Structure 1
Amino acid sequence: MAAQTEHDVIIVGAGIIGLATAQKLQEGGRRVTLIDRKGIARETSERNAGGLAFSDIMPLATAGMLSKVPRWLLDPLGPLTIPAGYFPRIFPWLLRFWRAGWPDRVEASIRAQAALMHLARDEMATTVSACGLEHMVNSDGSLELYESEAAFKAALPGWRRREAAGIPFEHVRGSRLAELQPGLSSRFVAGTFVPSWQSVADPYEFAKAIADDVLERGGGFIEANVTQVRPAEGGVTVDLTDGRQLTGNRAVIAAGAWSKPLAARLGDHIPLETERGYNTTLPPDAFDLRTFLVFGEHGFVISRLSSGIRVGGAVELGGLTRKPNYARADAMLKKAADFLPGLKTEGGTQWMGFRPSLPDTLPAIGFSRASRDIIYAFGHGHLGLTQSAATGRLIRDLITGAQPPIDLAPFSPQRF
């Protein structure tokens, strides 16, 4: 006879992935308990750029991107940096990242990402409707900018792949470029506008609104640090640092950058690395931003939120314990002022967060090696908000035994 458990589904991590998973599981009739060491949406989900990047189907590792890496690494404040002392630790991840850029892997990754993004758009719309969050979603599009004809031409293969995936866009120049975003520097010769791009008014408020809906529907929340998730008779046991042990029927590990050691204790050595992203949030009147701006050559974006104008991005592969290097945020803000000459750079607040990144840009979604009662949902990189509702739907299907709407093989936690 199976042991009685105190919880149904325990979700480790109350960021946007964990919250969206909880919401979808409740739709499927399951009871949920969320656990997080810092509170609801208090890590990366609190201060990201707020983009719903459903058009972002290209993996980070492509031939064009890999060719830029050596030049970027020479700039300590550039789009990509790795502290010198961290190279030995990250070298195996870099090898996998390099292999993910081979043509066969890139094509497979694009197919998988496109399928997930199609599901993400549909499932996010369902979540927004179910939680009454329509007022928190903006549909102002995005504009990727190019400083030279060479940069524009280099981007065209990626746009052709998006076109094949049914993603609408418009290449723009001159007066059309100025119409979409007045006040741009004259250095930009062209842009690509994605009209279907959406963003949320504020990522923290959006996540908190989902959390409020989950809690109002009977969900539980425990603020605690999880040390281990393990199989047990009739379900799972979750060990907390304060000595408590919670029992449940199922567990979902959605702890973002902190998921790696929990998976390792279950026998899954997943090459999860930490992208340390920086941003500065300026007052709302810092600039008249009309659309979400993407500066691909420089690795950062500028977004308009209810809390202000956010300038952020770039990648620092440096783990979880190194002190923040806010000079990176300063460098992005300086570039932003060059790109938007009217930008007011005073009065900003800086932030650094951890993006959980896998070498092939695809998340880990699936059962653990140790037990089918323990499921992984992490590794979304900079696409966590975008893919949160789709991930929740897929986790719900795995737990309830329903047929997932997409092939989950490319997202298998054991694919490495």
Structure 2
Amino acid sequence: MRVAIAGAGVIGVSAAHALMRDGHEVSVFDPGGVAAGASQGNAGAFAFTDIIPLATPGILRQAPGWLFDPLGPLTIRPGYALQILPWLARFARASMPDRYAAALAAQAALMHHSSDALERLLPAVAGEPLLRREGQMQLYDTAAQLRASRPGWEARAEHGLRFQTLDGAEAIAEIQPGLDPRFGHGVFTPDWINVTDPRQWVDHIAADFTRNGGRITRQAVQAIRPEGQGAALMLDGHWQSFDRVIVAAGAHSNALLRPLGLSLPLETERGYNTTLPARAFDLRTHLTFSAHGFVVTRIGDGVRVGGAVELGGLKLAPNMKRADALLAKAKSFLPGLDATGGTQWMGFRPSMPDSLPVIGAAPAHPGVLLAFGHGHLGLTQSAGTAELLADLVAARPPRIDLAPYSPGRFLKGRR
């Protein structure tokens, strides 16, 4: 089949590679080129243990205190508050216990599949040298914070995910020395994997894809038009026909779908970070400061400090004070950190209110497949999503049940 993909981020490029391995003729289009958006500035983690949805029972009791702190771990920009109300209403419904349980099970299924898919991808792209299998440590300021996190860890254990609880600063320092002694409680997940650099990872897959005949063009998709069982793309004012079209444009995907009569509740988790140069800190594992909403991770020879969630859409200017605040906290938590000489970044992480991505055919348009809304888990779920898209294009039974990720779950009467 002739397949076109709108979007050259980690989802689009991974899907292109999977479809190329299946024998399809694949073309990828993106005006910014490979990994121009959120795929280049993330924390570089395959976070397969992160199966807990953002919309958890009880989160609405915590959220008001966060939302009105412009530098807190979860905030809404004042100029965007009214526009995001419908999304927040869906987010509130997703936090109800029954919906949360279903989302947790679906997230766990996709994580298990994506972990296996990554191991299948690695030999195909000779990707092992680009990985760091150094685990991850979540840190808690107090014993009460650790106790409050236990239901999430118990849920992970039920889904077969390994972790080790660390009690005392000495136990923590054996894995990561140099932390402020206030952190006497932690949990270590040994199976956590990082890439050496997320931009390099996507570039590496893209290079293998093009070496084997795939095409990546720096070109904007101007419109999509269904054509029978296929679809056409408008490129530079001209229509080109394909057997299948995949929309993997991240936070920008809705703009392509509205002319098809579709508007899904896609929002952006605007993420901020600062990447420090080499030798900023002797970082030995990925660090997550759970109560503060950010991580510290190795990128190349440097250190990246980033995270938090700002709900502010695509048009408002970045608030780089958020990156400054995260860096100041990191300096406090890691007293030996050299916080000078960093490069700041802000990116748009595409997010659905139930924390699950959209994977499947567009309702009423079988030739248009959708793959976006992975939130902060795009890299993590990229290999798994790619295999599922390849199954859909080949009309094979998908490797996991796709109903929880169906675009129709947000459209009344459709699944």
The answer to whether residue 391 in structure 2 is matched with residue 397 in structure 1 is yes
Identity of aligned residues (%): 51
Tell me the distance in 2 between the aligned counterparts of 1:63 and 1:302: 27
Segments of structure 2 that go 5 or more residues without pairing to the other structure are 411-415
Match of 1:190 in 2: 185
1:123-202 pair list within 5 angstroms: 123-174=117-168, 175-202=170-197
- Please report how far the alpha carbon of residue 267 of structure 1 lies from its aligned counterpart in structure 2 after TM superposition: 2.3
- Please report how far the alpha carbon of residue 382 of structure 1 lies from its aligned counterpart in structure 2 after TM superposition: 0.2
Match of 1:221 in 2: 216
The answer to whether residue 15 in structure 2 is matched with residue 21 in structure 1 is yes
- Please report how far the alpha carbon of residue 259 of structure 1 lies from its aligned counterpart in structure 2 after TM superposition: 0.3
Tell me the distance in 2 between the aligned counterparts of 1:97 and 1:20: 29
Match of 1:344 among 317, 329, 338: 338
Tell me the distance in 1 between the aligned counterparts of 2:90 and 2:66: 19
Instruction: Deviation per CA, 1:320-371: give whole Å up to 9, x if none.
Output: 1111110000000000001101110000000000000000000000001232
- Give the alignment's TM-score, normalised by structure 1: 0.97
Match of 2:227 in 1: 232
Alpha carbons of structure 1 residues 59 and 237: separation in structure 2 relative to 1, 3 Å: same
- Cα pair 1:13 1:255 within 8 Å, conserved: yes
The answer to whether residue 275 in structure 2 is matched with residue 262 in structure 1 is no
DSSP-derived class of the 1:374 partner = strand
DSSP-derived class of the 1:226 partner = coil
DSSP-derived class of the 2:295 partner = strand
Match of 1:33 in 2: 27
- Give the alignment's TM-score, normalised by structure 2: 0.97
Instruction: Deviation per CA, 1:74-103: give whole Å up to 9, x if none.
Output: 211111111112111100000111111110
The answer to whether residue 110 in structure 2 is matched with residue 116 in structure 1 is yes
- Please report how far the alpha carbon of residue 58 of structure 1 lies from its aligned counterpart in structure 2 after TM superposition: 0.4
- Please report how far the alpha carbon of residue 305 of structure 1 lies from its aligned counterpart in structure 2 after TM superposition: 1.6
Q: Which amino acid aligns with 1:98?
A: A
Q: Which amino acid aligns with 2:394?
A: T
Match of 2:408 in 1: 414
Match of 1:212 in 2: 207
Tell me the distance in 2 between the aligned counterparts of 1:73 and 1:403: 42
1:28-107 pair list within 5 angstroms: 28-107=22-101
Tell me the distance in 1 between the aligned counterparts of 2:159 and 2:30: 37
- Cα pair 1:64 1:154 within 8 Å, conserved: no
Q: Which amino acid aligns with 1:250?
A: R
Question: Which moves more between the two structures, 90-99 or 303-312?
Answer: 303-312
- Please report how far the alpha carbon of residue 234 of structure 1 lies from its aligned counterpart in structure 2 after TM superposition: 5.9
- Please report how far the alpha carbon of residue 265 of structure 1 lies from its aligned counterpart in structure 2 after TM superposition: 2.1
Match of 2:325 among 331, 335, 340: 331
Match of 1:3 in 2: none
Match of 2:365 in 1: 371
Tell me the distance in 2 between the aligned counterparts of 1:234 and 1:184: 57
The answer to whether residue 251 in structure 2 is matched with residue 251 in structure 1 is no
Aligned positions, number: 409
Tell me the distance in 2 between the aligned counterparts of 1:312 and 1:84: 22
Tell me the distance in 2 between the aligned counterparts of 1:339 and 1:267: 49
Tell me the distance in 1 between the aligned counterparts of 2:363 and 2:279: 51
- Please report how far the alpha carbon of residue 276 of structure 1 lies from its aligned counterpart in structure 2 after TM superposition: 0.8
Question: Which moves more between the two structures, 93-102 or 218-227?
Answer: 218-227
Tell me the distance in 2 between the aligned counterparts of 1:64 and 1:125: 36
Tell me the distance in 1 between the aligned counterparts of 2:61 and 2:286: 26
Tell me the distance in 2 between the aligned counterparts of 1:318 and 1:307: 32
Q: Which amino acid aligns with 2:367?
A: D
1:282-321 pair list within 5 angstroms: 282-321=276-315
Tell me the distance in 1 between the aligned counterparts of 2:33 and 2:12: 12
- Please report how far the alpha carbon of residue 235 of structure 1 lies from its aligned counterpart in structure 2 after TM superposition: 2.2
Instruction: Deviation per CA, 1:245-280: give whole Å up to 9, x if none.
Output: 221111000000000122222222210001110000
Tell me the distance in 2 between the aligned counterparts of 1:309 and 1:66: 33
Instruction: Deviation per CA, 1:135-191: give whole Å up to 9, x if none.
Output: 001110000000011111110000000000000000102221111110111111200
Alpha carbons of structure 1 residues 300 and 391: separation in structure 2 relative to 1, 3 Å: same
- Cα pair 1:366 1:412 within 8 Å, conserved: yes
- Cα pair 1:231 1:370 within 8 Å, conserved: no
DSSP-derived class of the 1:40 partner = coil
Alpha carbons of structure 1 residues 167 and 324: separation in structure 2 relative to 1, 3 Å: same
- Please report how far the alpha carbon of residue 227 of structure 1 lies from its aligned counterpart in structure 2 after TM superposition: 2.2
Question: Which moves more between the two structures, 61-70 or 30-39?
Answer: 61-70
Alpha carbons of structure 1 residues 391 and 235: separation in structure 2 relative to 1, 3 Å: same
Alpha carbons of structure 1 residues 109 and 223: separation in structure 2 relative to 1, 3 Å: same
Segments of structure 1 that go 5 or more residues without pairing to the other structure are 1-6
